[in-house]
């Protein structure tokens, strides 16, 4: 009996030792760095970068962005951490593969100082100044597509309506001279036409917002209260040399407006328009022509 009890006691001690070793091993696996229970390194963060070259005006999707690991101490200020923070947004500058994507990739308040780098080969940049009415509320931003519309008005005295009169014989020897006369100035000679279509915006600049009178900020200086009255915007357009000539000429002799296009129109074909005068409005759109009203003077 004593030998039997001793054997049972030894078996019990052996099983207890095995159980202890098993518990130690399980605890070691639970606190280790491998498997699904791996510890997160608090000294490492992620930043969002471009997965490929991305041109100005592109709406980002998941395939265009990725993340890279960096030390927390080396993480750039303003860097995005998750890709879903930038997906769906439109970049307002060119991005190269691996380039950090931060708030400057979507900036719309200042002109990129390196505008020339944004231009396609053979293209130029020209500035057009617009206001709330002629510039879509000054909401145009880099990457947008616009059309340029010209308006010549009778008040400019640069679009006279003339007719050819009878020729005369003048000079020695006699030479036939063609004579032209300005038509009755009461006629409306205003004309509007889309001149250039589908231009890419490569930069915009808004002037400093004027302060509201009598208001001051915490530092004692005058605060800035946004106002739409008279606010203008400078828009830089990517053009060909011929388009630059057209726009510059019409800046001198007419009034220009910019019409905002849909992003999907980047490859759209030009649309032929008639241009608009009073005659077009009357003949094509049923507008009643103005008539002179005669009254008897007392």
Question: Which domain CATH number covers 84?
Answer: 3.90.1210.10
Tell whether 89 and 196 lie within a shared domain: no
3-state secondary structure of 53: coil
Tell whether 242 and 100 lie within a shared domain: no
Of residues 182 and 90, the one with the higher pLDDT is 90
Of residues 192 and 291, the one with the higher pLDDT is 192
CA distance from start to end of the chain: 149
Q: How far is CA 115 from the centre of its chain?
A: 14
Tell whether 81 and 204 lie within a shared domain: no
Q: Write down how long the chain is.
A: 298
Eight-class DSSP state of 223: P
Which of 57-71, 118-132, 156-170 comes out lowest in average pLDDT? 156-170
Of residues 159 and 78, the one with the higher pLDDT is 78
Tell whether 102 and 194 lie within a shared domain: no
Which of 101-105, 119-123, 134-138, 183-187 comes out lowest in average pLDDT? 183-187
Cis (ω within 30 of 0) for the bond into 272? no
**In this predicted structure, what is the pLDDT of residue 261?**
93
Would residue 80 count as lying in a domain?
yes
156: which 2 tokens? 């400019």
Position 223 confidence tier, pLDDT thresholds 50, 70, 90? very low
pTM of this prediction? 0.64
Q: Given a cut of 80, is residue 152 above it in pLDDT? A: yes
Total number of domains constituting the chain: 2
Tell whether 234 and 142 lie within a shared domain: yes
- Summary mean pLDDT of the chain: 81
Cis (ω within 30 of 0) for the bond into 173? yes
**What's the domain range around 78?**
44-106
Tell whether 138 and 198 lie within a shared domain: yes
Would residue 275 count as lying in a domain?
yes
**In this predicted structure, what is the pLDDT of residue 251?**
92
**What's the rounded mean pLDDT across residues 271-285?**
90
CA distance 76 to 50: 15
């Amino acid at each position: 009996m004593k030998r039997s009890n001793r054997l049972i006691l030894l078996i019990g001690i052996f099983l207890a030792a095995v159980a202890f070793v098993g518990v130690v091993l399980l605890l070691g696996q639970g606190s280790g760095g491998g498997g699904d229970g791996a510890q997160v390194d608090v000294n490492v963060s992620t930043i969002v970068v471009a997965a490929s070259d991305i041109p100005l005006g592109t709406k980002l999707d998941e395939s265009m962005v990725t993340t890279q690991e960096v030390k927390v101490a080396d993480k750039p200020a303003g860097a995005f951490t998750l890709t879903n923070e930038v997906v769906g947004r439109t970049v307002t500058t060119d991005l190269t593969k691996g380039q950090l994507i931060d708030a400057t990739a979507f900036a719309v308040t200042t002109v990129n100082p390196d505008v020339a780098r944004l231009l396609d080969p053979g293209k130029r940049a020209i500035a057009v100044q617009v206001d709330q009415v002629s510039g879509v509320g000054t909401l145009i931003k880099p990457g947008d597509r616009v059309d340029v519309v010209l308006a010549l008005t009778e008040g400019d005295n640069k679009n006279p309506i003339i007719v050819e009169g009878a020729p005369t014989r003048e000079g020695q020897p006699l030479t036939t001279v063609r004579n032209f006369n300005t038509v009755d100035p009461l006629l409306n000679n205003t004309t509007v036409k889309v001149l250039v279509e589908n231009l890419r915006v490569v930069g915009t600049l808004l002037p400093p917002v004027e302060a509201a009178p009598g208001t001051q900020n915490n530092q004692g200086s005058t605060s800035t209260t946004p106002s739409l009255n008279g606010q203008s915007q400078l828009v830089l357009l990517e053009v060909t040399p011929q388009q630059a000539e057209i726009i510059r000429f019409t800046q001198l002799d007419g009034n220009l407006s910019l019409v905002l296009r849909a992003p999907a129109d980047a490859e759209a074909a030009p649309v032929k328009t008639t241009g608009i005068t009073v005659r077009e409005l009357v003949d094509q759109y049923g507008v009643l022509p103005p008539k002179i009203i005669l009254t008897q003077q007392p």
